[in-house]
Structure 1
Amino acid sequence: MFKVSVGLAALFVLIGVVIPTQLAEAMNSAQAFVQESFGWFYQLVATFFLLFAAFMIFSKYGKIKLGTPESKPDYSRPTWFAMLFSAGMGIGLLFYGVSEPIAHFSAPPMGEGSTETSAIMGMRYTWLHWGLHAWAIYAIVAMALAYQKFRKGAPGLMSATLYPVLGEKVKGPIGHTVDIVAVFATLFGVAASLGLGSQQINAGLSYLIGIPDHFGIQMAIMGIITVLFLISANTGISKGIKYLSNTNMSIAVVLFFTMLILGPTLFLLNMFTTTLGSYAQNLLQMGLRLSPFDETEAAWTQGWTVFYWAWWISWTPFVGMFIARVSKGRTIREFTVAVILVPTLVCAMWFTVFGGTGIFLELTQGLDVSGQSLETALFFVYQQLPLGVLLSILTIALITTFFVTSADSATFVLGMMTTGGSLNPSTKVKTTWGIILVAATSVLMASGGLAGLQTAIIVSALPLTFIVLTMCYGLVKALNQELKEQGPLNPPQEVGKKKAS
């Protein structure tokens, strides 16, 4: 697995170096085909995953533990939550924190832009893209991986979750193909996040000290951070990733409350409450919207919502394996509630404070926040607030630590997937994947920038979607079999009176 995966990844990087134009054209054609032909499919499966996760919370399986009956969690809840974010959406929250709500405000999915109505609609759709649907997808994959790994003693591989469906076939060519698809989806999904991070660090440095906003500078930034995350990756999950994750959350909390206090506080609180009601009322309708009679609205949905569903699905092997690795000992109910609701609430508050501030500045003061690029919108908003320079410095520091933990976690997971599910991949394996990850990111950025990263995500996520659907069926089948073996008079032994924290 390691040799084949590395060989294929290296071949992709080589093609990108030798014929970048042809690679970009081929991937753009593939993206257009997938978005136009399978947009309906992504909308349906994303909604299905949300409903499936809700079912698992209230089902008879909720008390089953992701581990042996006597196992206890390895990490406290605060550390656990911090690690969820560091491996999940850290860089994206900063990159899109202002730029996505303000983009939807000025160019909403329907109707006129730059109005009070489009402000609520823009925030509501941002919540849709980063909320319950996204974390439900993560939770399902992480749950299946943790159950097979810690309950059944199976390898920590995507193919292992299909054992209840395919049996011993998962150990042959079918299983290897599943794992290779997972490797490439992870590679492209994380590459997008790293590309966004390097672009925004460059934008922040340009604002602070006038460094040119240039592709070469972004490559230099990636080179420096590569050294940092390889050092962190080789300290182990309980040292480098754990400490950096806690650091991330500390800086993020400071940044969040500073923005809430310095920004239009009452407006933001009112915006949060109003958007919460609108989001709850329109959740299913937004998640299934395609606009078959309006090409402009349909293109908006394909470019935003469908792209996000593909992005989150492409991240599931990476984030799912990482969440599974740090969630041993939790019950299915506790795990699912925490992984879905807590991050969704935090994302909603984050986008309301950052995006809401940008909307307020444009709607009430006439500032052109929506006219800024995606990577500079946040720093433009900082310019309008007290302590703007300090906020920019904190943001660059936070993007850097998120960059390190995302890449750190990715090399760990790629190492797991290509060494038979090892919980401690060797330094050589992690270093190799770290170099390939940065090289793939560089190739995608050089051949198409942000659009190139998006293309790779959408194309790689399609086959993985079918794997995750099969995984859902396999998980229910395995859980039913376990309850059947226990019998009605022998409830799960792990249901104790005392919960581990």
Structure 2
Amino acid sequence: MKKVTNVFYITLALIAMAVLFGVIVPEQYETVTGNIQSFILTNFGWYYLLLMAALVVVSLFIALSPYGRIRLGKDTDRPDFSTPTWLAMLFSAGMGIGLVFYGAAEPLTHYAVNPPTEEPGTEAALKDSLVSTYLHWGILPWAMYGMTALALAFFQFRKNEPGLISATMKPIFGDKMNGPWGIAVDVLAVFATAFGVASSLGFGAVQINGGLSHLFGVEVGFGAQFAIIAVVTVLFMISAWSGLSKGIKYLSNTNMVLAVLLLIFVVIVGPTLMILNLFTETLGTHFQNLIQLSFRSAPLSGDNRDFVEGWTIFYWAWWISWSPFVGMFIARVSRGRTIREFLLAIIFVPTLFSIFWFASFGTTAAHVHDSGPDLSGLATELVLFNVFDQLPLSVILSGIAILLISSFFITSADSATFVLGIQSTNGSLTPPNQVKLIWGVAQSGIAALLLYVGGLQAIQNTIIIAALPFSIILILMVYSTYKALKQERRRMEELAKGKQIRK
């Protein structure tokens, strides 16, 4: 195949080895990776908390400083996509299936099973559950995605570098990034992307299977999940073949329409006034306490350290492992926007939508749990459908949810094949269809094999482990971008002075 680099072959070999290990000795794989993950979360939690908080400060500083006026591309470039389509595309890639998978389940768990600080089942626990969920899905992860995407977009469209993670660090390391060190960086990024998306596809297949079982009695098991993955693979490969401006664009707009439709239905048929009041109060509480929440490490025995490690720090590692994929995709669709517009939109628009989403689904789940069946013992993928059972129009709600999960499923896989193609063809903005096909089959194959052996948890552990070295790369990317922005600002000022003198 033309265009492919060593990154393609090295990463495929590493993925094959990891999957083979998981298939042959799944229990040992899960044990080993679980022990390493536990060590990282316990001993590096403070580091993840400081890193994520620092990225918020840096992103807001750059957005509001004179650097914010720099355009991602030539000064004459304008955005390739309308703002609503752009927001839909970055949102679909950034959170996707997770919103539906955890929309009702996470707030309910924090409320009824394991609240961060309050007694389970109390009114204080309900507020606490929403505020904590907002933290995990709000400003901090989106600021991290924004900085990753900014580095890639700036170097790719402003400085004409290839769209690779390694290319963003050339202001620090120079031509060393063209050799083995650059290959190592890009291999780590591709590895994290492939496994991160494969685990997401596995979760998506499980939840679609759960929804079909709930509605139509389809048996829950690997056979049904394999069939779901096979069908979705065909669909997202058709989309990937059609290109970025058609397949992903239309799917992303479809996602937003379905998501907004489902959200409106839930607000109307759920406890509407309770949703709106809790949203308003917990939104204020969240922003009022954002600094304290961002640095909460629970160092003492009575601080519920298990919650911080099992949720907050886990999420920070999880999001960092996703940042090569999400950052590269956001960068690719953001040419022509100013840095200020780019960062502020990425940080705040998805955050506010996510907060209202979790307020609506979380409040509704808690209301159903308190007034009817006990939902706290259900598997995560079944919580949403059991909540819908207690609401009017339950079949319609469940049907929309399944369609939305499927659409997010297809979009995530489609976006990932595109990003993996870019990263393994030296940053080509139009990776060959054969390369995208191979990555598409590889992602689906990883998800199917690991569902078969019950190894999704092991893969989750693997990408959390990969997040630690990538976090160092992320820090270097941010520093390198800031250094390049300073140089670009000086260049623009000198150019402006030269024009004035000539006048």
Question: Taking structure 1 as the reference length, what is the TM-score of the superposition?
Answer: 0.95
User: Residue in 2 aligned with 1:310?
Assistant: 317
Between stretches 107-116 and 344-353, larger displacement belongs to 107-116
Determine the C-alpha separation between the residues in 2 that align with 1:24 and 1:250: 38
Corresponding residue pairs, total: 492
Q: Are the equivalent residues in 1 in contact too, given 2:55–2:143 (CA < 8 A)?
A: yes
- Counterpart check, 1:233 vs 2:237: no
Determine the C-alpha separation between the residues in 1 that align with 2:366 and 2:17: 44
User: Residue in 2 aligned with 1:498?
Assistant: none
User: Residue in 2 aligned with 1:166?
Assistant: 173
User: Residue in 1 aligned with 2:473?
Assistant: 467
Post-superposition offset of 1:266: 0.8
The superposition leaves residues 175-207 of structure 1 with CA deviations (integer Å, 9 ceiling, x where unpaired) of: 111001101111122122212111110110010
Change (3 A) 1:233 1:61: same
Post-superposition offset of 1:491: 7.8
The superposition leaves residues 347-402 of structure 1 with CA deviations (integer Å, 9 ceiling, x where unpaired) of: 01111111111112223x14312232211110011001111011111111111111
The superposition leaves residues 406-429 of structure 1 with CA deviations (integer Å, 9 ceiling, x where unpaired) of: 000001101100100011111111
User: Residue in 2 aligned with 1:30?
Assistant: 36
Alignment of 1:305-454 (within 5 A): 305-363=312-370, 365-454=371-460
User: Residue in 1 aligned with 2:135?
Assistant: 128
User: Residue in 2 aligned with 1:476?
Assistant: 482
Post-superposition offset of 1:458: 1.1
Change (3 A) 1:491 1:141: farther
Between stretches 106-115 and 71-80, larger displacement belongs to 106-115
Which letter does structure 1 place at the counterpart of 2:102? Y
Post-superposition offset of 1:488: 6.1
The superposition leaves residues 125-144 of structure 1 with CA deviations (integer Å, 9 ceiling, x where unpaired) of: 10000000010010001011
Question: Taking structure 2 as the reference length, what is the TM-score of the superposition?
Answer: 0.95
Identity of aligned residues (%): 50
Q: Are the equivalent residues in 2 in contact too, given 1:445–1:452 (CA < 8 A)?
A: no
- Counterpart check, 1:44 vs 2:50: yes
User: Residue in 2 aligned with 1:223?
Assistant: 230
Q: Provide the secondary structure at the position in 2 that maps to 1:234.
A: helix
- Counterpart check, 1:15 vs 2:53: no
Q: Provide the secondary structure at the position in 1 that maps to 2:336.
A: coil
Alignment of 1:261-300 (within 5 A): 261-294=268-301, 297-300=304-307
Alignment of 1:15-164 (within 5 A): 15-106=21-112, 107-164=114-171
**Alpha-carbon RMSD:** 1.6
Which letter does structure 2 place at the counterpart of 1:143? L
Determine the C-alpha separation between the residues in 2 that align with 1:434 and 1:214: 23
Q: Are the equivalent residues in 2 in contact too, given 1:233–1:408 (CA < 8 A)?
A: yes
Change (3 A) 1:236 1:489: closer
Which stretches in structure 2 are left out of the alignment for 5+ residues? 1-6
Determine the C-alpha separation between the residues in 2 that align with 1:16 and 1:313: 23
Between stretches 197-206 and 369-378, larger displacement belongs to 369-378
Determine the C-alpha separation between the residues in 2 that align with 1:430 and 1:353: 37
Which letter does structure 2 place at the counterpart of 1:243? Y
Between stretches 283-292 and 321-330, larger displacement belongs to 283-292
Post-superposition offset of 1:216: 3.0
Change (3 A) 1:489 1:174: closer
Determine the C-alpha separation between the residues in 2 that align with 1:296 and 1:101: 19
Q: Provide the secondary structure at the position in 2 that maps to 1:55.
A: helix
Between stretches 465-474 and 185-194, larger displacement belongs to 185-194
Q: Are the equivalent residues in 1 in contact too, given 2:317–2:467 (CA < 8 A)?
A: yes
Post-superposition offset of 1:20: 2.0
- Counterpart check, 1:206 vs 2:213: yes
Q: Provide the secondary structure at the position in 1 that maps to 2:66.
A: coil
Post-superposition offset of 1:69: 0.7
Determine the C-alpha separation between the residues in 2 that align with 1:311 and 1:12: 18
Which letter does structure 2 place at the counterpart of 1:412? F
Which letter does structure 2 place at the counterpart of 1:61? Y
Change (3 A) 1:25 1:295: farther
